[in-house]
């Protein structure tokens, strides 16, 4: 297990990890070459996966079969039009617009239909259902609903308060606007807190992996159990 | 001079990155396909780059404008190099030293905390699966979130392997298959050959691929004879339905795509395992029952291991996780205090 290649890989992993961490104290000149190296490797991996799992089985292999040609004409035509956009010549570039339109239209159509069917309608129906029902829908909690409605109005009032020029109206809006501001701050705090907690798992995982790998390499045991 | 919109530092006209904070100076205008995620196969590369997405920048600007008590003021003076170095080193030291040197005896057993409803629901959904069940595992995260997502994936994989169900891996991200292999390889238990998952690999096309998978799964990925045997498919029987779908997705879009394109079309139990960062956005889907179980973040990984009764990586790392969170909080408070003390009296 403790081969020279393992040792070399572990040293490389440790050095690269420390160089990435160097970003924390502002060593940008050290950080960016390593970051670009990793992004380059990632891009290369994605290119290989795309070639092996998409282009070869989806395009090149079917092209070898004569009966598959009719079904490939349209995608091939769109592919050629898309490639024309990389030519750098304005006229050829514009020829690729139908392919881009097709691509964007299809994706937007799918996304829109999915959003209506899978998000908007179910979410709206869940709010409209006023009585608890069996199974999935827990029903509506009147207190929670009123609180949510109030907070929504307060957040809207916060935006209104900033734009209002009438002094009397501004005075009336001050209190709900402050509540709305607090609600916004709480929401932002929850979001940022979740983000921080989630992202902290990565450096902890990285350090653990490295320390465990080094302990296995040096002592053949588990550092955290034998500590 | 080229002024950084993040830290306000002046840079040379031809500079692309800020010499002070290292961020991109000139954000390119959004292109035709910028808002349509998943069109390009290299999307993960773009996402993992340093450039902040346009929508995040807009959101940041909106919140800043709304929250400001007075009209926007010029950006504050950048923190001096000495403070930056000090805080950076402090943070790095805290994370490294805590993770490595925290004694095992100093352990608050977080696994005794009551699990969230999503954890219990996921556990029961898997616990009642018969051995003939087919479970689709969607691996939609990349290495940038692997540290968190793999913690969540491992107890679920152990449970599924214990149920001896047929597993099928699929991914809408090019890096997904590699993440799946890493998750299985890092399990502390050997995966019997007969239980090895059928790998459908990377499906390009995002929503379009999902729709094709829902309408004609057999046409999307032709299955080998061994895979058909593994899934107990007779003759030319298509791969039609799954008894359970588990989506491992670190971004909101991953879970939402499966809900909108698959779960909205056919009634299939759906478990979404998400990053803790996006859980609040997916919570409404759990409340409407579109997601039967939502698991997110390190605490859910720990709770699932406790329910399962098999300590895993999350249990082993709870000391470091909890201690680092506490100490990170201390660092943030200290940094805020230092920052406020250094602020000029005029502001």
User: Looking at the partner chain, which of A106, A198, A203 has a beta carbon nearest the beta carbon of B297?
Assistant: A198
Say whether B280 and A211 touch across the interface (CB within 8 A): no
- Alpha carbon distance A116, A114 (integer Å): 5
Dump pLDDT digits (tens) for B6-29. 777 888 877 767 777 766 676 544
* Rounded (10°) angle between helices B146-163 and B176-185: 60
Q: What is the pLDDT of residue B33?
A: 36
Q: Does B84 touch chain A (CB under 8 A)?
A: yes
The more confident residue out of B171 and A84 is B171
Say whether B321 and A136 touch across the interface (CB within 8 A): no
**Which range has highest mean pLDDT (A50-54, B27-31, B76-80)?**
A50-54
Q: What is the pLDDT of residue B45?
A: 37
- Taking each continuous run of H as one helix and of E as one strand, the counts in chain A are 10, 0
Say whether A114 and B49 touch across the interface (CB within 8 A): no
Mean pLDDT of chain B: 74
Residue B48 in this model has a pLDDT that exceeds 60: no
How close is the nearest chain A Cα to the Cα of B148, in Å?
5
Q: Give the full edge-to-edge strand order of the sheet including B270-274.
A: B198-202, B166-171, B134-140, B244-249, B270-274, B293-296
Q: Does B88 touch chain A (CB under 8 A)?
A: yes
Dump pLDDT digits (tens) for B194-218. 778 888 888 888 888 888 777 766 5
In this structure, of A33-42, A80-89, A157-166, the range with the lowest mean pLDDT score is A80-89
Say whether B320 and A26 touch across the interface (CB within 8 A): no
pTM for the whole structure: 0.71
Q: Does B60 touch chain A (CB under 8 A)?
A: no
Contacting B residues, span 230-249, partner chain A, CB-CB under 8 Å:
none
Tokens of A188: 């932002």
Percent over 90 (pLDDT), chain A: 0
User: Is residue B95 within 8 Å of residue A203, measured between CB atoms?
Assistant: yes
Q: Which residues of B touch A103 (CB under 8 A)?
A: 33, 39
């Amino acid at each position: 297990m403790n081969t020279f290649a393992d040792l070399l890989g572990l040293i490389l992993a440790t050095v690269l990890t420390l160089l990435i961490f160097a970003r924390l104290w502002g060593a940008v000149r050290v950080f960016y070459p390593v970051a670009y190296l990793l992004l380059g490797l990632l891009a290369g991996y994605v290119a290989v996966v795309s070639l092996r799992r998409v282009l070869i089985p989806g395009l090149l292999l079917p092209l070898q079969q004569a009966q598959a040609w009719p079904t490939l004409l349209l995608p091939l035509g769109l592919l050629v039009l898309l490639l024309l956009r990389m030519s750098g010549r304005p006229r050829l570039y514009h020829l690729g617009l139908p392919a881009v339109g097709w691509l964007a239209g299809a994706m937007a159509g799918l996304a829109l239909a999915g959003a209506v069917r899978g998000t908007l309608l179910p979410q709206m129906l869940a709010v409209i259902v006023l009585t608890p029902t069996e199974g999935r829908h827990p029903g509506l909690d009147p207190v929670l609903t009123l609180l949510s409605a109030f907070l929504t109005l307060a957040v809207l009032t916060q935006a209104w308060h900033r734009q209002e020029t009438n002094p009397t109206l501004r005075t009336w809006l001050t209190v709900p606007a402050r509540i709305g501001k607090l609600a916004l701050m709480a929401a932002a705090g929850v979001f940022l807190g979740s983000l921080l907690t989630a992202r902290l798992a990565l450096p902890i995982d990285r350090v653990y992996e490295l320390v465990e790998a080094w302990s296995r390499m040096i002592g053949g045991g588990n550092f955290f159990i034998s500590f | 001079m080229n002024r950084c919109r993040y830290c306000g530092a002046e840079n040379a006209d031809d500079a692309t990155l800020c010499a002070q904070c290292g961020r991109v100076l000139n954000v390119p205008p959004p292109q035709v396909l910028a808002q349509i995620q998943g069109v390009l196969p290299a999307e993960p590369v773009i996402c993992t780059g340093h450039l902040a997405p346009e929508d995040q920048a807009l959101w940041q600007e909106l919140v800043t404008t709304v929250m400001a008590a007075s009209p926007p003021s010029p950006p504050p003076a950048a923190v001096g190099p000495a403070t930056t170095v000090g805080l950076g080193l402090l943070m790095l030291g805290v994370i490294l030293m805590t993770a490595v040197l925290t004694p095992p005896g100093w352990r608050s057993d977080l696994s005794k905390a009551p699990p969230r409803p999503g954890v219990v629901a996921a556990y029961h959904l898997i616990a009642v699966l018969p051995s003939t069940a087919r479970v689709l595992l969607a691996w939609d995260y990349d290495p940038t979130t692997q540290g968190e997502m793999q913690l969540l994936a491992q107890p679920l994989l152990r449970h599924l392997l214990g149920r001896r169900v047929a597993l099928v891996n699929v991914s809408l991200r090019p890096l997904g298959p590699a993440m799946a292999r890493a998750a299985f390889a890092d399990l502390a238990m050997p995966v019997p050959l007969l239980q090895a998952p059928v790998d459908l690999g990377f499906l390009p096309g995002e929503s379009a691929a999902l729709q094709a998978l829902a309408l004609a799964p057999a046409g999307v990925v032709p299955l080998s004879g061994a895979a058909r045997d593994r899934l107990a498919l007779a003759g030319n029987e298509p791969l039609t339905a799954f008894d359970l779908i588990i989506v491992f997705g670190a971004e909101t879009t991953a879970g939402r795509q499966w809900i909108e394109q698959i779960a909205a079309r056919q009634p299939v139990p759906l478990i979404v395992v998400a990053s803790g960062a996006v859980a609040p956005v997916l919570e409404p889907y759990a409340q409407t029952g579109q997601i039967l179980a939502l698991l997110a973040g390190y605490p859910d990984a720990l709770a699932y291991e406790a329910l399962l009764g098999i300590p895993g990586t999350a249990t082993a790392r709870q000391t470091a996780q909890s201690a680092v969170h506490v100490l990170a909080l201390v660092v943030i408070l200290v940094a805020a205090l230092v920052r406020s003390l250094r602020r000029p009296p005029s502001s």
